[in-house]
Structure 1
Amino acid sequence: MSDQKFKVTIDNITVEVAPGTTIVQAARLIGGDVVPPTMCYYSKLEGSGGKCRTCLVEVSKGSEKDPRPMPKLVASCRTTVMDGMEVKSITSDKVLDARKGVTEFLLLNHPLDCPVCDQAGECDLQNLSYEHGAASTRYDFKRRTFEKEDIGPYIQLHMTRCILCYRCVYTANQLTDKREHGVLDRGDHSAISTCIGKALDNEFIGNVIDVCPVGALTDKTFRFKNRVWFTKPVDAHRDCPTCSGRVRLWMRGDEVFRVTARKDEYGEVESLENGKTAWICNTCRFEKKETKDWVIEGPTKVNRHSVISQGHYVNAVNGQPKLINDVIGKDPKLLLDIHKISDVNRPEIDLSQIEGPAHSDDFLPNQSTGTMKQIGKLGE
């Protein structure tokens, strides 16, 4: 039974997975736009998922044995695949409409303070709103707010930005010896807080910053010091007796502005070669802020669609990529004579002979002769 595989089709792409695999895990094996967005699910944390509903998908075929579709959209992070299951993610209008609605609900009470938020530029909620959000809000009421609370010297809590994903609670519960914070109260009064004003001072508690998908938990040592797209991420490591010691330094020049754990393409902390998660300790995160403390491995590979890639630090290291050798001999349109492939101008028309900037009226057909006005002008 260990070698048994289930075939699941997601957006017309079939992949084989082991029994017990969830739909979102199967989608990540495919990659690309097929992968549903997630705000609360975190594969490295047990029990996460099923709270934000941003990963809703449509199951158009339950399985090979029971091909009936599921009656409503399901959370892909909580639904396991069956052999022969067919799923629609970005190919379903119902799914896209549902994600738009969920995004609107998440933004109802979320403050629009991206210009002053340290999470801007690497915020999952920002990405979700750009991809699935509406252009304007229909909410006319006053947003929910919370009083500021001090939870320690290293972590800043902004409860007004929290979407109650529970990631930080699971992180503290599973990484630390004792959990000192959680979700208090119920309904719209629910809030992340500590019991009787205790501080979060555990050696691994800084990892709640890395797992937070919004700007609710941020690094006080990096607070208001720089924008993430102005810094250059660099992979580094050190021999740390407490944690993995594998980190990402966010530098500007020779100055290290902040230290975080390394993350994969889905914004989750990377796994080590032995399968364990590369969580980092507070010493590496908050106290080692000089390059002499680290062994620099090289620039981090950043997705070109990320706002962080706008720093162009890769060009300074590797130089501008030369694409001319790749396109020569493949009939590239950008290397052809525009006059020979365009229907706008005839080959005998030389744009350099036009006095002043060319205007669309210069190329309108002459109603009487059927020729273009510009040809007559050039003939004169």
Structure 2
Amino acid sequence: MKVTIDNITIEVAPGTTILEAARQIGGEVAPPTMCYYSKLKGSGGKCRTCLVEVNKGSEKDPRPMPKLVASCRTGVMDGMEVKSMTSEKVIDARKGVTEFLLLNHPLDCPVCDQAGECHLQDLSYENGAATTRYEYDRRTFEPEDIGPHIQLHMNRCIMCFRCVFTADQLTETREHGILDRGDHAKISTCISKALDNDFIGNVIDVCPVGALTDKTFRFKNRVWFTKPVDAHRNCSNPKCCGEARLWMRGEEVYRVTARKDEWGEVATASNGQTGWICDECRFEKKQTSDWTIEGPTKVNRHSVIAQGHYQGKVGTATQPILIDEVIGKRPKLTLDIHKVSEVNKPEIHLSEIEGPAHSDDFK
């Protein structure tokens, strides 16, 4: 099937969703997601951050869809035309969704362990507003102890249900779930039962905010001060891939997480399975001698974690070209500002001007 997203046409297999097709294009064409997780069955359709505009349904039925649709739940039709970042309606809708997600979210980024790798931070930075219109008290919950390794902050939860799907599909027993309804809904174990399954630590990796954090890493360091490296070990647990990411500062391993792909999801392991790791690898193996170090993690240069050790191509264009020739497939143009702005004269070199450049130099 052929589908056009933001004026970029690709061919996809039948049954592909709009979101999956957009991710094949990559870059900013792919809508943001807070609840969808490709590795979890049943996820998606809850947060509405991935809304897109379908201005042509298909070749057989070219009528546009009457309202914005969730791209993670809408399948592609042959000849479909979709607008994501090029639609004013979509941009406005994402701003509205972001505002709703932040209504009850506490402003504790300075003390939150998720800061620096929080999807809600990224979403609010790209689509949110600098101020809030909310004037009422925020929803709050009493602290709850759910185990020796995982800290639950329900005040930060956005009810994406990812952790519930993870516990249900990855562990043999699911001790926690969603209680109550509406604005009273919360993630809980009902009777404060500890989450002690040997794979329950993966709920930390799937949480897009700081609602579920690692107690062994809590308040010990900022993620951008650590250096991520890829490592592996021969784990005795047959379900564990044994491939992890160590977050180090000097020779000390501060925390261990699963490896993640460019969409912030647990990456596929070398054996072709999803790269989940067991709690033994995550919480107990905190020495470099426990692991075989493969090398530094390739960090996206736009991430705050990148600070000085990202890998990737950077450059400028001498003429308008698609940016996919520079840093990936993105429907943006790079221009020579001297030729396009008609402000600076290209024949005048700033380094040859005596003293600071002035407007008189470019009259």
Query: Aligned pair count?
Result: 339
Does the 8 A contact of 2:243 with 2:269 survive in 1?
no
CA contact (8 A) 1:7 1:15 kept: yes
- Helix, strand or coil: the match of 1:60? strand
Kept after mapping to 1: 8 A contact 2:299/2:309: no
Q: Structure 2 matches for 1:225-240, cutoff 5 A?
A: 225-240=220-235
Contact 2:345–2:362 at 8 Å: present in 1 too? no
- What is the CA distance between 1:134 and its match in structure 2? 1.1
Matched letter for residue 41 of structure 1: Y
Conserved? CA contact 1:125–1:214, under 8 Å: yes
- C-alpha displacement of 1:361: 7.6
1:224 lines up with 2:219 in the alignment: yes
Report the residue type matching 2:263 in the other structure. Answer: Y
Aligned to 1:305: 302
Alpha-carbon deviation of 1:358? Answer: 3.9
Matches of 1:321 and 1:50, distance apart in 2:
35
Structure 2: give runs of 5+ residues left out of the alignment. 319-334, 337-342
Distance in 2 (CA, whole Å) between partners of 1:346 and 1:29 is 43
Question: Hey, what does 1:214 align to over in structure 2?
Answer: 209
Q: Which residue is equivalent to 1:50?
A: 45
Deviation for aligned residue 1:241: 1.7
Q: CA deviation at 1:308?
A: 0.2
Q: Secondary structure at the match of 2:39?
A: coil
Measured after TM superposition, the shift of residue 187 of structure 1 is 0.9
Counterpart Cα distance in 2 of 1:342 and 1:49? 49
Q: So what's the TM-score if we normalise by structure 2?
A: 0.88
Q: 1:237 to 1:359 in 2, by over 3 A?
A: closer
What's 1:265 paired with? Answer: 262
CA distance in 2, matches of 1:89, 1:110: 26
Q: Which residue in the other structure is 2:159 paired with? A: 164
Task: Specify which of 284, 287, 292 is matched with residue 290 of structure 1.
Answer: 287
Q: Residues 103-252 of structure 1 correspond to what in structure 2 (within 5 A)? A: 103-242=98-237, 243-252=240-249
1:13 aligned to 8, 12, 28, which one? 8
Q: 1:81 aligns with which of 66, 76, 81?
A: 76
TM-score (norm 1): 0.84
Q: CA RMSD in A?
A: 2.7
Instruction: Tell me, yes or no, if the aligned pair for 2:301 and 2:310 is still in contact at 8 Å.
Output: no
Secondary structure at the residue paired with 1:241?
A: coil
**2:29 alignment partner in structure 1:** 34
Q: Which runs of 4+ in 1 moved over 3 A?
A: 320-323, 341-347, 349-352, 357-365
Contact 1:56 1:75 in 2 (8 A): yes
Tell me if structure 2 keeps the 8 A contact 1:299–1:314: no
1:346–1:174 CA distance, 2 compared to 1 (3 A): closer
Of Structure 1 and Structure 2, which has the larger fraction of its residues in helix? 1
Q: Which SS does the other structure have where 1:197 is aligned?
A: coil
1:97 equivalenced with 2:92 (yes/no)? yes
Structure 2 CA distance for partners of 1:241 and 1:68, relative to 1, 3 Å: same
Q: Which amino acid aligns with 1:276?
A: Q
2-structure distance, mates of 1:8, 1:130: 29
8 Å CA contact retained: 2:18, 2:75: yes
1:273 positional shift: 3.9
Structure 1 residues 236 and 359: CA distance shift in structure 2, 3 A: closer
For residues 109 and 75 of structure 1, the distance between their equivalents in structure 2, rounded to whole angstroms, comes to 23
The percentage of aligned residue pairs carrying the same residue is: 74
Which residue identity is paired with 1:260?
T
Unaligned runs of 5+ in 1: 1-5, 328-332, 335-340, 366-380
Q: Distance in 1 between matches of 2:263 and 2:310?
A: 21
Q: Whole-Å Cα distance in 2 between the matches of residues 197 and 346 of structure 1?
A: 70
- The 1-side partners of 2:207 and 2:31 are apart by 18
Q: Is the partner of 1:46 in helix, strand or coil?
A: coil
- CA offsets 1:288-315 (integer angstroms, 9 cap, x no match): 00000000000000001100011x2469
Q: Secondary structure at the match of 2:144?
A: coil
Contact 1:234-1:300 at 8 Å conserved across structures:
yes
How far apart are the structure 1 equivalents of 2:47 and 2:344?
50
Aligned residue for 2:40, secondary structure, equals coil
Offset of residue 272 of structure 1: 2.4
Structure with larger Rg? 1
When residues 212 and 322 of structure 1 are mapped into structure 2, their CA distance, relative to the original with a 3 A threshold, is: closer
Tell me, in whole angstroms, the C-alpha distance in 2 between the residues paired with 1:78 and 1:314: 34
1:34–1:90 Cα contact (<8 Å) kept: yes
- Counterpart-to-counterpart distance in 1, 2:21 and 2:356: 54
Q: Distance in 2 between matches of 1:90 and 1:361?
A: 36
Say if 1:36 and 1:54, in contact at 8 Å, map to a contact too.
Answer: yes
CA distance in 1, matches of 2:63, 2:360: 62
Q: Within 2, Cα distance between the matches of 1:364 and 1:45?
A: 58
- The secondary structure found in structure 1 opposite 2:277 is coil
Distance 1:344 1:173 in 2: 62
Larger RCO of the pair (alpha carbons < 8 Å, separation 6+): 2
Residue 62 (structure 1) aligns with: 57
